[in-house]
Amino acid sequence: MSDSEKDVSDLCVSCGMCCDGTLFNTARIQDDKDRKLADSLDLITGGQEDKLYFKMPCPHFAGCCSIYDRNRPQICSMFFCNPLKKFQRGEQGFLEATQQVRSLQEHRDKFMKVASQFPEFDGLGFREIKNKLGDLSEQSDNISTYRHLFLLLFVFDDLKTRYFEAAKKEEVQ
């Protein structure tokens, strides 16, 4: 493994936003063979033909991938986020890519810290809280209650769009 491959691998191990539901609701499955493999790993799969997916957050994520040494769906070893793709293409340095990943991660953590002050979000992960806030936003009474969280989510989505836009295309809708 080259030095730059090791840098990328270390960053991914310390990040996990691909697997923990921060970036995605789903991850793409390539074909039926890949789906059988995902099913055998107890991943929650769905979709049809060229729109197969498994759901996020991945149950095998525990700070990092807990089944790293096993045969996994192709996307698990093939996917790189946009900041890393730009680094690999020589369009930006590794430091810049790291800063982009860290800024989104830090913002997600800030959001989770504020969310932890609300008992109604107890035990929920980032993706679940984000979805719940989407439902709550339909009632105008909730806007002032969750104003800070809505604001943090707005900035999170802005950062995600700015730095991770290409990654969104990997998600199965």
**b vs e for 9-32, b when ≥16 Cβ sit within 10 Å of the residue's Cβ?**
eebbeebbbbbbbbbbebbbbeee
- Name which of residues 79 to 118 contact ligand SF4 (CB under 6 A): 80-81, 84, 101
Nearest to 153 by CA among 139, 140, 136: 136
Judged by CB under 6 A, the residue of 29, 37, 52, 58 near ligand SF4 is: 58
Single-letter residue type at 95:
L
Residue 19 neighbours by CB under 8 Å, 6+ apart: 56, 57, 58, 60, 61, 65
Taking the least distance from each CB to ligand SF4, the nearer of 101 and 146 is 101
Closest separation between CB of residue 152 and ligand SF4, Å? 19
Contact range with ligand SF4 by CB under 6 A, out of 9-17, 45-53, 109-117, 141-149: 9-17
Contact range with ligand SF4 by CB under 6 A, out of 45-53, 60-68, 109-117, 139-147: 60-68
User: Does 61 sit near ligand SF4 (CB under 6 A)?
Assistant: yes
User: Does 29 sit near ligand SF4 (CB under 6 A)?
Assistant: no
Rounded-to-integer distance, Cα 116 and Cα 127, Å? 14
Closest separation between CB of residue 32 and ligand SF4, Å? 18
User: Does 21 sit near ligand SF4 (CB under 6 A)?
Assistant: no
Residue 80 neighbours by CB under 8 Å, 6+ apart: 8, 88
Contact range with ligand SF4 by CB under 6 A, out of 29-37, 56-64, 128-136, 151-159: 56-64
Which token pair is 128?
């679940």
Contact range with ligand SF4 by CB under 6 A, out of 61-69, 87-95, 119-127, 141-149: 61-69
Which token pair is 13?
């191990």
